Each structure stands twice: as C-alpha cells, then as structure tokens.
Structure 1
C-alpha cells in the first residue's frame, strides 16, 4: 500500500502555529520594548480610524471614500483575527462587549452604503479604546492610576457622546428644518449640550424635543464628570489590604475607612 505524502500533515506547519500564537500574544500582551512599540502603532492606527469615522459624512461623496473604507475594514479584520488568535481564552474574548462593538464596526465598513444610517455608532470605538486595558498598559504606563487616567477617560466619553449624538441627529433629521448637513448637526449638538440654546437650529416635533432634552441632561452630566476629574483632590489607587478601599490621599498613612497602616509606594521616579 502506497502512502500519499501530500495528504499527510506538515509537521513544520504544526510546529509553526504555536510559535505564531506565542509571538502574537507577546506583541499584544507583553511588556518588552518591541511589544510596546507594536501596540503604540496599533493605537495610532485606531485613532486614525476614529478620525475617519468622524469625517465619514464629509468624505462619503469623494472618489477615495470606498478605498479608504475597505482599507480600514481590512486593517480592522486583521487586528480582530490577530487578537482572537493571541487570546488565551477565545470564549471569554468573544463575550466581551468591546469585541462585539469591533465586529459591528467591521460590518458597517464592509457594507458602507447599506448600513450608513448606523455608521455614527462607529465612534464608540474611541470610548472602548480609551477605556481598555490595552490602551493603559501601553500609553498609560507612566500615567496609569493617576489623575490623567480619569481625565482622559472622562474627556473620551464626552467626545464620543458628542459625535454619536451628532451622527444620530444628522441621520435622523438631515435635510429637515435647519439641519442641512453634518456641520449643522454638530453645531446643534454642541449648542444643546452646553445649554447655550441659540435657537437658530431646532429639531422638529416631539421626538426632536426628546433628543434635545437627552442631549442637555447627558451633556451636563459629562461636563460635571470631566470637571470633577480635573479639579477634585488627587488620590492614588492603592487597595487597602483590610477593607479594600481603592483610593487614598497621596500622603495617607492610615486607611480612612478602617484605620489600617498603609504602605503606598512613592512614584517620584516617574
């Protein structure tokens, strides 16, 4: 009986797969200088992608729109596949809301005209990026667990809300009274969010009033949160070994909750 050599599995291929997985895992989760540079490149591409999402309504009619759109889709698909392969627990990775947001963004990129009315939700990728461990393990190595983390998170949430609401207003009320384009929708959102209320652009009907109310209330809340992050007394994150209280004054010696002696590391070297 003859054996067909071509039908047998390639041993070198079987050995190569674990090496590729280990390499990807090191790049995405490792602490080496090369891994950090790789993740910084990924984050820079993510920010360029978010900028494209924000500018999509202005670029949609340009000849290069589809080229840029499908290029972004290819990059995002490659990133998702690499993250999935590098993950130790694929099931847990797949269950994460961040993963589903990225998959949704990918689908809107693959069908840019059919799903254009949902494209404004792509900006949620900015929120998921800035609130991810991936971001703070890379960009925030020097600023993690500090005031800068709180300020950056609050600012990213505010910016994300502004452009999600702008996209929703543009999609829902385009070419109605006052909303002639994306800039008009952005102008209305910021004017309403800041409660300036010039009144030169208003949304028609009961639904328009509801959107205005939600924008004002949410905007005030997000501004207050950003102000608190900027001006409240700075506290370090150091879990109390007894009661678990997370935040303490920089010069705290005892936990305010239970009184146990603390040993908060000094970060002067940063």
Structure 2
C-alpha cells in the first residue's frame, strides 16, 4: 500500500518537474535576451562578473605563488563559469546553434583548464581568450553597446579586444615555454616585455628566444602583431557608418546621410536626430 502511494506521488510529481525546465528556459531567455529593465540589469551584472573573471585570468601568473588561495579561487571561478555557460545554453533558442559558436568552445576550453588546473597548468594562459569571447558576444553589445548607433565603436572595440587578447596569449605562451629556462626570461613581466617589443617590431634585443623554435615564435609574433595593428588602425580611420538593414538586399551598414542603398538602390529611411 505504501509503495502504491509512493508510485502515485512520483507520477503526480513528474509533470511538475517536466514543466520546471521549460519555465526555467523561458525565464533565462527573458533575462539574457529580453529588453526589460530587469533583463538589462541582469546582463550588466553578468558582464561585471565577466570583467572580474578576466581580471583574475590576467593576474593569475602573479597569484600562483599564493598556491592554496589561488587554487581555491580557481575552483570558485570554474563554478561561476559553469553556471554562466549552462544558463546561456538553456537560454539559447537552439542548443545545436549554441554549440556551433566559436565563443562557446572557447568558454568550454577555459572551463576545462579551470577544472583541471594541475593537469593543464601549461595551458592556463589561454583563459584570457574569455576576453575575446565576451567582447564579441551578442549579450555584451545588446546591453552595453545598445546606446551606440554606429558600427565604428563596435568594430574598434572588437579589434582592440583581439589585439589585447593576442598580446596576453602570446605572453603566456612565451612564459610557459621559456620562463626560468632562459636567462633573459625570469618572470611574467619579462615575457610581456618581450612580446610587446616584438609585435611592435621595436626589437631592443635585450631579450631573445633561443634556438630555431624561439626564432619561429618571434616571427609569428611579429607578423601577427603587424596584422592586428593594421586591422586596428583600419577600424579607427574607416568612414563613419550606421547600422540600418536594407529591406530589399539586407545591407546593414550605410552612410549616416544615405538616402538610397549603395548595393541595390532601394530607398532608405534611416532615423536621425536632425
């Protein structure tokens, strides 16, 4: 008799549990993609936490000497990132589309390095890729960047984020590969100094990487640095554009005073304050 009551209770409880997940997904979708003041405040808190996480990733090489505290912070950050990735997956309209995004795989890789800090110690420098994924996310631009109508601010911010991310990734790679095994590289600051002087092609020559592998890495940093600097300069001098989707051809960027679409000639009605 008792078993039948438990079975009946379990059956009765199943529909509620089955409805709980859809309700949670709807709620998260409203918070992550909605336009209400509550949703905007929620996303601002998410972005603020992301900034703190990125700060931790950048400062991690200086915190490793305080190993017990660093390891505790590492697992706390892993928990926060797990909750964020899981919530964004539930809030997305399609899990398949969510998993196809490059930013999702970058976040998952960062999460793996946080969950296994001892095993993947030499790959910890790649955690700063989170900076790139945050600055290229729709959540960031739908929240913080929603006040900008032109595309220049977004393009400059993304190019700058790519450049800064590359600097710290290259610095971490140099530090993990050559620090304490090469006389010129005694710490993270030395690796950062070498990376900046190399990618700017200043080349003081006081720190050089030994061997063929070191020379190849130096060449990659120089070529990549020049490319990213040129890209950043292009976004700064590019003519001012506004985002307005043409109803006929779908072209999204136009001159602020454009009357007709340059691609198809359709009549435009771009809102302005004049």
TM-score, structure 2 normalization:
0.91
Deviations 1:184-208 (A, max 9, x none): 0000000111111111011111111
Task: Name the counterpart of 1:161.
Answer: 166
Checking the alignment, whether the CA contact within 8 Å between 2:174 and 2:191 is kept in structure 1 is: yes
Tell me, yes or no, if structure 1 residue 128 matches structure 2 residue 133: yes
Task: Name the counterpart of 1:234.
Answer: 240
Tell me, yes or no, if structure 1 residue 28 matches structure 2 residue 54: no
Mean CA deviation greater in 74-83 or 224-233: 224-233
Shift of 1:93: 1.5
Checking the alignment, whether the CA contact within 8 Å between 1:177 and 1:204 is kept in structure 2 is: no
When the two structures are aligned, how many residues end up with a matched partner?
A: 268
Tell me, yes or no, if structure 1 residue 46 matches structure 2 residue 50: yes
Checking the alignment, whether the CA contact within 8 Å between 1:72 and 1:109 is kept in structure 2 is: yes
Checking the alignment, whether the CA contact within 8 Å between 1:177 and 1:203 is kept in structure 2 is: no
TM-score, structure 1 normalization:
0.92
3-state SS, counterpart of residue 144 of structure 2: helix
Q: For the residues of structure 2 that align with 1:87 and 1:128, how far apart are their CA atoms?
A: 16
Shift of 1:259: 3.5
Checking the alignment, whether the CA contact within 8 Å between 1:84 and 1:93 is kept in structure 2 is: yes
Counterpart of 2:96 (choices 88, 91, 98) is 91
Q: Aligned in 2, Cα 1:244/1:80: closer, same or farther, shift over 3 Å?
A: closer
Shift of 1:2: 6.7
Mean CA deviation greater in 228-237 or 113-122: 228-237
Aligned-pair Cα RMSD in Å: 1.9
Q: For the residues of structure 2 that align with 1:42 and 1:85, how far apart are their CA atoms?
A: 15
Task: Name the counterpart of 2:4.
Answer: 4
